[in-house]
Chains A and B, each alone.
Chain A
């Protein structure tokens, strides 16, 4: 039953299965809604893959070390390009096989990347401006 807001129920997935999974979702006609990244604070991040077919969502959860490259699904879903680059900016994650890698310049300029290594990480503090 499709619903507009749901307590997240995501199937865990392993890093090496992500691309194959994406391919199979693509073939079944799923639309990639987006990916979400959360810093878990213990050196890992949760990466969620949200898919949709006829308004019904399917989620996958990849728990992954922050400092290791994540397989990119952008060769399968071109649309993943933006969100993966965004995560690259925000969490300093690296993606393997990203079709167009902005290399942390999608949103950020040197002023930020040289002073904060990853603005969306848990223990980073928001920079105060006076």
Chain B
């Protein structure tokens, strides 16, 4: 813990120099990751022109990423900047809070949306009550606090998010060409993108819950703006839906702030967590605000029944979806739930959170099975994984928390990668439908293979996602809170995810000549770099997962429980419940994979044969098919089973929403 002191002793002064240096360093870095993106955002907004943007965006995301790395290098800290440019930060944020709410109110007014207006007014009233009646302005609350959980988040936000912004440069150019816009709206787009990064960094670093609330609302606003970016009717409706759902979460957040301030007398996360550890503290007075915070987290993480805003967000340009899904917005929700996990550890609330998360996991996995729209599959799978993370938070053992953090890391990378892939595919083939991606290998070999790598890292060992899922399942099974329904939901959900991933990967590889090298594919630099880095990251970090675990994850879990979740030696994770041998697996599977690839290469075109078609196979104009009725050529077609009647949105959504609402009611009611 560092704090600024003004001593004179030489030794002390040397030390204080170091400290000062570090504090200044910290200043710079926090500034770099929180405020700098805002400045960069303003820069892109005002300095118009492609050339300038093409410089500002890469440079600023690089700086943000560097700042994030720097922060991570420094390790945990707590830090309380008092003022910026002479203005008290607390005051500033309060003012900005109201400005923000006012702005949202204006938007709602213009749309004539009473619901959002109402939700905004509630928040304003709550904040007024909190700021002017409850708050004891004398107490000092540490503004920023970072442990390895927040630092992990900062890294993800800055690096993955930064790559997405970079990808956005090329994407938006082409996107606007498709739309034939008279005036480029890119400045506005990148303004919100960069602002988003800053707000997210602020959110995860904030220790003062009211600051966190501010950043929280900024992300809400940004997402609203970005979802509605294209300005179509659908975009507007979906943006509005996103807004009201998140505002509902905001109301819960404000409520939580009021309750906490009242019962705990502080809004410092650190203090609350510390106090909650004392025996006998976990009463309704603490748990009720916790439940509200969880609820806020659920809305932001688009858990059922709020899944529709995230699916609706698919209308936005792909970088937005990528950003919302992988590294930012929704992760804010789960971050909050995990952050507060120790406070409700071992309570019924925790069990309820676990069940709720598991339910989201299975429900949205089932919904994903019914989708042929690639982006929607990604969306539902995101929600499912967030559900799994929340379930882990609810299970609330050190292994479960480790699983949650691992999931956050690896999901962000793989999902970011997949979104960018789908974006690139969509721009080339004009569709985001999985069926349209049949045989994509023949058209976009490189992207297809990278997408498959992305999918494989999502679903199979020895990659990080699966390591995390393994941790999740084992901790669910061995936790004292293990209830058969929870385990069964997780088991079914994970089988469902295999279903929709495997078929997607399979159809993309479709090709017809062994040893065939399809014409090489041009990938713009703004696509290729992020794809390669993310794919490399997904694979490489999985290989490094023992390090990732011991450097980032283990310290984060240390906060939650005394027992370490796993011991890692020689790349083998082990605890009482199980062993996961990362290195040996990587080694054996890697060797096998290389061997398989070489065997596949060896089989050349001379072994080629057409598919079996009952003996009537035929090729006409390079199309494969068969000789059908009337001696006519019939081209084959194949479709995945989406089983609308079982897994269709229209079929499932209603009952899922009802169950979810009941679960939420039980969760909130159970606290009281």
In the complex they form, do A and B come into direct contact, defined as C-beta atoms under 8 angstroms apart? yes
Q: Which residue of B lies closest to A102 (CB)?
A: B630
Closest residue of A by beta carbon distance from B632: A105
Interface: A68 (CB within 8 A) = no
A11 within 8 A of B: no
For the complex with contacts A102-B629, A105-B630, A110-B631, 5 further pairs of A-B residues with Cβ separation under 8 Å are: A102-B630, A103-B630, A105-B629, A105-B631, A109-B631
Q: Which residues of A contact B631 (CB under 8 A)?
A: 105, 109-110
Closest chain B residue, CB of each to CB of A101 = B630
Residues of B that sit less than 8 Å from A by CB: 629-631
Interface residues of A in 94-116 (CB under 8 A from B): 102-103, 105, 109-110
The CA-CA distance from A109 to B631 in the complex, in Å, is 8
Interface size class of A (residues with CB under 8 A): under 10
List residues of A (20-76) whose CB comes within 8 Å of B's CBs. none
* Chain A residues in 8 Å Cβ range of B630: 102-103, 105
Chain A's closest residue to B631 (CB) is: A105
A105: chain B residues at CB < 8 Å are 629-631
**Assembled-state Cα–Cα distance A23/B629 (Å):** 29
A128 to B630, alpha carbons, bound, how many Å? 26
> How far apart are A109's CB and chain B's nearest CB, in angstroms?
7
* Nearest B residue (CB) for A109: B631
User: In the bound complex, how far is the Cα of B630 from the Cα of A105, in angstroms?
Assistant: 5
Question: How many whole Å from A33's CB to the nearest CB in chain B?
Answer: 25
Chain B residues within 8 Å of A109, by CB: 631
Ordered by A's residue number, 8 sampled pairs between the chains whose C-beta atoms are within 8 Å are A102-B629, A102-B630, A103-B630, A105-B629, A105-B630, A105-B631, A109-B631, A110-B631
Q: Complex formed: what's the CA distance from A46 to B93 in Å?
A: 99
Bound together, the chains give a CA A102 to CA B582 distance in angstroms of 62
CB closest chain-A residue, reference B630: A105
- CA–CA, A105 to B629, complex, Å? 8
Residues of A within 8 A of B629 (CB): 102, 105
A67 to B189 Cα, complex, angstroms: 73
Nearest Cβ distance between residue B620 and chain A, in whole angstroms?
16
When distances are taken between beta carbons in the complex, the residues of chain B under 8 Å from A102 are 629-630
Q: What residues of B have a CB within 8 angstroms of the CB of A103 in the complex?
A: 630
B628 to chain A, nearest CB (A): 10
Complex A-B, nearest 8 residue pairs according to Cβ-Cβ distance, in ascending order:
A105-B630, A105-B631, A102-B630, A103-B630, A109-B631, A102-B629, A110-B631, A105-B629
A102 to B630, CA, bound (A): 6
Query: Measured between C-beta atoms, what is the minimum distance from A16 to chain B in Å?
Result: 29
Min CB distance, A115 to chain B, in Å? 16
Bound form: Cα–Cα A105–B627 in Å: 12
Nearest chain-A residue to B629 (Cβ)? A102
Docked CA distance A102–B631 (Å):
9
Please measure, in the bound complex, the distance between the C-alpha atom of A110 and the C-alpha atom of B630, giving whole angstroms. Answer: 11
CA distance A82 to B191 in the complex (A): 69
Q: With the chains together, A51 CA to B631 CA distance in Å?
A: 32
Please measure, in the bound complex, the distance between the C-alpha atom of A110 and the C-alpha atom of B631, giving whole angstroms: 9
Q: How far is the CA of A103 from the CA of B632 in the complex (A)?
A: 11
Which B residues touch A110, using CB under 8 A? 631
Within 8 A of B (CB), among A78-130: 102-103, 105, 109-110
User: How distant is B408 from chain A, measured CB to nearest CB, in Å?
Assistant: 59
A29 vs chain B, min Cβ distance (A): 31
Alpha-carbon gap, A103 to B631, bound state (A): 10
Could you tell me the distance between the alpha carbons of A128 and B354 in the complex, rounded to whole angstroms? Answer: 81
> How far is A106 from B164 in the complex, measured between Cα atoms in Å?
58
Bound Cα distance A110, B627 (Å): 14
Q: When chains A and B are docked, how far (Å) is the Cα of A110 from the Cα of B549?
A: 71
As a 0/1 sequence over residues 2 to 31 of chain A, the CB contacts with chain B under 8 angstroms (1 = contact) are 000000000000000000000000000000
What is the CA–CA distance of A71 and B629 in the complex, to the nearest angstrom? 24
Shortest beta-carbon distance from A98 to chain B in Å: 13
A110 to B632, CA, bound (A): 12
Closest-CB distance, A82 to chain B (whole angstroms): 13
